[in-house]
Structure 1
Amino acid sequence: MRLRRCFTIAGLSALLVLGANTVAGAAPSEFAAQGAEAGLTASQISSLQAEADTYVAELGGKQVALNRVELPGATITIALPGEAAPRKLGVGALDVHCDGGFADYKHFCAYRGQNFTGTHIDMFACGVYDIPESWVGPGSWDNNQTAGTVAKMMNDAGKVIFKTTAPDWDESGSWTPVDRMRNC
């Protein structure tokens, strides 16, 4: 088991214990209202908020919509469990650069699910990005950065385990060995 994953699981367990009495109303009212306006159930709103909270706690950044977390140089857009793509919730809240399963030019899109589905991370600025601990098993990615740009996927020791030169993609890769990546 990856060392970072052990620490994250322990930290998330502590958060669950501390937040056990605040299940109802856990989402900030502005974000809960976005979900209600979109016709989501209280359970769906709570699920999206919990996932956003996990990403912010693990990776930093700021939640800007019920299903969107902005990081320096990247954006995470969260899909409801079982849905192929994130929904538009709130003004300007859908990341169109990874929408439809293909990365826009000059973007690297990482998808939680196979075939460019599920929650995705749009990496639009050159940098090193952690891959969420919950991203294990099958997933996909689309490297549509400028031609020749090399993205490197690394394990928890920082060793490069895979390189992809733009333009390139994989509709059925594995996130299990990947702890972080440099998109350029």
Structure 2
Amino acid sequence: MRLRTSSLLGAALLSLLAAATVASPADASPAAAPSSFAAQVRAAGFSAAQARQLQGAMDRDLATLGGRQVAANRIITADRSTITYPLPGEKYAHVLGDGLNGNDPRTPLVLCSYGAFCGWPGYNYSGTGFTHASCGDLYEIPDNFKTGGSWINNQTHNYTTTFWGKGNVYLSISHAAYFREPHANWYPVWYISNNC
């Protein structure tokens, strides 16, 4: 009986550790007030004006896409996608306090978790990044994805993503996962859907 109990406890511990690595602590915790997030940005050495500018970008996307703010520079949209914003003066998005360098070109590769399709408005994965892992639904891309851009298809099982234009007009389909496109064109794209 003792061996079985310890095996069950070991399995439960492994499951708990696996679950902890999938979502970041910021995503799992209840949303704090935007003023506390602004205080975190200021405590990290950014000015009040920079904190307001960052918060304004998130507020605009929340007004359009719905959802909630879960970190000083990250929101989860109503459809459970994440949008992470670059910190002031940084080129690549990452969560404040995660230890990553927002000016290191390897940083966006960490942001695009396994099982997701990720996009950025700038070439070479720069700017605000979104991560979308849901299957079959239409995901409305953020408004600042106007032209240029880049994306990574990091879904499982060689899945693809379909790009849709205004009025749900089919545009194209991505290469199967894993695939990176450092020089894309978001201009005609209004929605994506993961084919998984």
User: TM class by shorter-chain length?
Assistant: 0.7 to 0.9
Which residue, 92, 95, 102 being the options, matches 1:85?
A: 92
Residue 162, structure 1, aligned to residue 141, structure 2: no
Kindly, what percent of the aligned residue pairs are identical? 36
Give the TM-score normalised by the residue count of structure 1: 0.75
Distance 1:155 1:82, change over 3 A: farther
Aligned to 2:58: 52
Larger Rg computed on CA atoms = 2
1:74 and 1:112 map into 2 onto residues whose CA distance is 16
Give unmatched runs, 5+ long, in structure 1: 1-26, 92-98
1:105 has 2:111 as partner: no
Greater relative CO (CA pairs within 8 A, separation 6+): 1
Structure 2 residue 134 is the aligned partner of structure 1 residue 125: yes
Q: Distance in 2 between matches of 1:124 and 1:112?
A: 18
Tell me how far apart the structure 2 counterparts of residues 108 and 170 of structure 1 sit (CA, whole Å). 11
Mapped partners of 2:46, 2:88: distance in 1: 13
User: What amino acid is aligned across from residue 112 of structure 1 in structure 2?
Assistant: P
CA contact (8 A) 1:34 1:90 kept: no
Match of 1:9 in 2: none
1:79·1:118 contact (CA, 8 Å) conserved in 2? yes
State the partner residue of 2:27: none
The TM-score, its normalising length taken from structure 2, stands at 0.70
The amino acid that maps onto 2:183 is S
What is the aligned length? 152
Deviation, 1:48, is: 0.6
Gaps of 5+ in 2: 1-32, 99-105
Q: CA deviation at 1:90?
A: 6.1
Q: Equivalent residue of 1:172, what SS?
A: coil
Counterpart position of 1:31: 37
Segments ≥4 residues shifted beyond 4 Å: none
For residue 119 of structure 2, what is the amino acid of its counterpart?
A
Deviations 1:55-110 (A, max 9, x none): 0001111112221110233100011465221243268xxxxxxx723233211111
Q: Is the Cα–Cα contact under 8 Å of residues 150 and 185 in structure 2 kept in the other structure?
A: yes
* Aligned residue identity for 1:137: T
Change over 3 Å in CA distance of 1:161–1:82 after alignment to 2: farther
Structure whose residues are more often helix by fraction: 2
How far is 1:134 from its partner? Answer: 1.9
Give, in angstroms, the shift of residue 28 of structure 1. 3.0
* Match of residue 14 from structure 1: none
SS in 1 for 2:62: helix
**Relative to 1, partners in 2 of residues 1:139 and 1:163: Cα closer, same or farther, differing over 3 Å?**
same
Matches within 5 A, 1:129-148: 129-148=139-158
How far apart are 1:137 and its partner, in Å? 1.2
1:183 is paired with a residue whose SS is strand
RMSD: 2.2
Q: Please state whether the residue corresponding to 2:56 is helix, strand or coil.
A: helix
